[in-house]
Structure formats: C-alpha cells, structure tokens
Amino acid sequence: MEIPLRRGRDDGAFIDQITFTIHEDSLPKVTGKGLVSDTEFVVKYSELLEEILGFGITQKLPFKGKFFYKSCYQLGPDNVEYGKVHYGGQRETMLVELNGTGCQAAIPGWENRLYEFLSKCIRPKITRVDVAHDFFNGEYTPDQALLDHDNGHFDVHNMRPKSECRGTAWRNDDGSGKTFYVGKRGNSKFTRVYEKGKQFGDVNSPWVRFETEFRAGDIEIPLDVLLYPGSYLGGAYPICTAIFKTEAKRMDAKTETVNLSFDHKLFHARNQVGKMVNFLRDIGWDDTKIVDELVKGIEGYPKGLQPEQYDCRDQTQKIQYIHEEQKAIDDLNMQTLLDDLLDEKETAFPQDREKQHIKDIELEEKIISNFLNSKGNSNV
C-alpha cells in the first residue's frame, strides 16, 4: 500500500478537516478503566475528546449519520457544528469526523495531543485528512494552477491527473471566484485551488487557498500527518515544493475569515436597515432608541461572526457535555436501550428486514432534512 510522500516544510500547511477511527477497546487501554455499555464508551470518549480538542459530545443526534454506524453524536454546541462521532455496528470501531470549523475552534496544539492519543490506541486509522496552505496576497492562483497542470507540474508517476475548471468566473470574471480541481473526488488524492476571499463575498480579495484531500483506500495515511502536514502537502505534486516556502498559520486564516465575514455582514446590514435608520433619525429618534428597537427580541450573532466558530473556549451560550452531568448520561442510557429494543423488534423476522431497511432510509433522510432546516433557520 502506498504512503504519501513527504517533501518541503513541515509547517507549510495546516489541517482543515480530519476523519479517524479507533477500536473501542482503545478507551479502556488508554484510560485504564473497564467499560461495558455503549453509553460508558461514548461518555468516556467525550471526556477524552474534550481533553484533546477542547470540546466533547453534547447530544445524540436523531439520525444514524454516515458510514453505516448505528448512532451519531454531535461535537460542540448547537449553534456551531464542530463535527460528529459515530459508533456501533462497524467492527467495534468509533469514528470521529472533525470539520473545518472544529479544526479551527479546537484549542491550539490539538494536533500533537491527538497524535499522542492515537499512538496509544488499538488499530488507529486516519481515513481522511485535508491539508491546506493560504496565499493571502494571491501569490498563487487558480489560473497559475491550470498553467502548471498543462505543463506537467502536477504529474505523478509520469501520469497527468484529471482536472476541472469550476465557476462562471473562468469565462466572465464576475467576482464569484474561480476553482481549479486536480484529481477526482473520492480518489486517494484530490486538490482544490480556489479563490477563498471571493467565496466570502469580497470581489476584490486576492486570498487563494490550495487544499489537498487525502483519503485512505489505496494509500495509508500516516499518523504523523498531524505533526507534519506541510511535508505531506509538499509531497503531493512536483509543483508543491516550489510554491510552499512559508509557514502556514491557522491564526492568519482565522483573522482573514473574521475580517471578510464582518465586512460582508456589515455590507448587507447596511443595505437592509440603512435607509430605515435614516428615517428614524429624521423623525426624532435618538441612536440608543433606534438600536434598542432594532435588536429587540434578537439574540446571538450572525453566522460567521459567532466567537465559538473560531475558539471553542468563547461560547455565547451555556454548553454542557454529556460526560459532565449524570442526567445526560442517564438519558443516553435510556435512549441507547430503546434503540436496541427497537432494532431487535424490527429485525425479528428475516422477510421483513428488506422492507424495514427501505423505511429506515426514507425516515432517516426526512429526519436529517428537517434537522438541517431547523439549524439553518436558527442561524439566520
């Protein structure tokens, strides 16, 4: 099995997303405590993840999620999703998927702590990791990536990977941003070079992100990608060692994201309420009264400006992890028991299993859709 090459700076990239699995027996091995029920495993994993990342599991979700596991749990608060934990029914493994927001909000140094933890686990495996480098001043662009691809600078083993230009801006630069893909989605290596600043609505932003997604399959992703992400991005293609010459700092990406999000939200807020504010002033309202009326009954911050998106320690609402209170543990125990009884009942007769499987899929799709719609409405 092939292992990705390492070249260039170790700190030339940062991890923007990661999915990994461990055998459930890793938890008793690491903690030295005996665990029996599913609830005990989930609660202990939540506690460990908080030590590693800064946040743990807050609730069991009303659907099974992806990857054919029996249950799915939310990492982090209700208003900002950091990722999910999947458990049950997959060869006694537990899967964690940490999205870009989760990687960004985790307490600095989480990569080292996760590496130390996985090194002690039974059958640890990274199934996906995205490593990224930002060019805030447009030092490298999708247009340059297209030219380099045509000139063979993305060739691997004397083979040229497929490529694709995505976005209307390739034909008419309308400010929506260009994206250049190298490879095929779902393959062991897939790269995006895109104008990230324009993704946030700033048509003049030069910010470009070069991001490579590694997936386990015909390659094995070493655990030390957590320690040296820049080296693995540098070894992805021949062109990489030439363009990744500076340190990639996650904090710089956070700052740029906040600034662009603020400018974008302020622009739309001005368009929506600016004229109304002018009117209220002209009829004699003072600024304090105007502000009080406009925010009456409104709580929280706009999506993109919520502090917990950038640091899990800055929560705007009270958050309780399931390992921190007995009631949450008791509720989880009861829910797990009911789910197990329901599974037994629904699969009691083999001839009914296929029908039940179809019903499960339809119900789960409906629940996921309703859940995502409700979260979307709450963030407006």
Residue 371 CB partners (closer than 8 Å, separation 6+): 61, 62, 63
Q: For residue range 150-165, list pLDDT tens digits in order.
A: 999 999 989 999 999 9
Total count of residues recorded for the chain: 380
Q: What does DSSP say about strands 93-98 and 14-23: parallel, antiparallel, or unpaired?
A: antiparallel
Closest CA to 84 of 110, 64, 109, 107: 64
Buried b / exposed e along 335-361 (16+ C-beta atoms within 10 A): ebeebeeeeeeeeeeeeeeeeeeeeee
Report residue 105's pLDDT band, with 50, 70 and 90 as the boundaries: very high
Report residue 369's pLDDT band, with 50, 70 and 90 as the boundaries: low
- 347 pLDDT more than 50: no
Whether the model pTM is above 0.85: no
Q: What are phi and psi of 91, to 5 degrees?
A: 50, 40
Q: What is the C-alpha to C-alpha distance for residues 223 and 213, in angstroms, rounded to an integer?
A: 15
Distance of CA 12 to the CA centre of its chain: 20
Q: For residue range 87-96, list pLDDT tens digits in order.
A: 988 889 999 9
Are 56 and 323 within 8 A, CB to CB? yes
Report the share of the chain in percent with pLDDT over 70: 81
Helices (H) and strands (E) in the chain, counts: 12, 10
The confidence score (pLDDT) of residue 294 equals 87
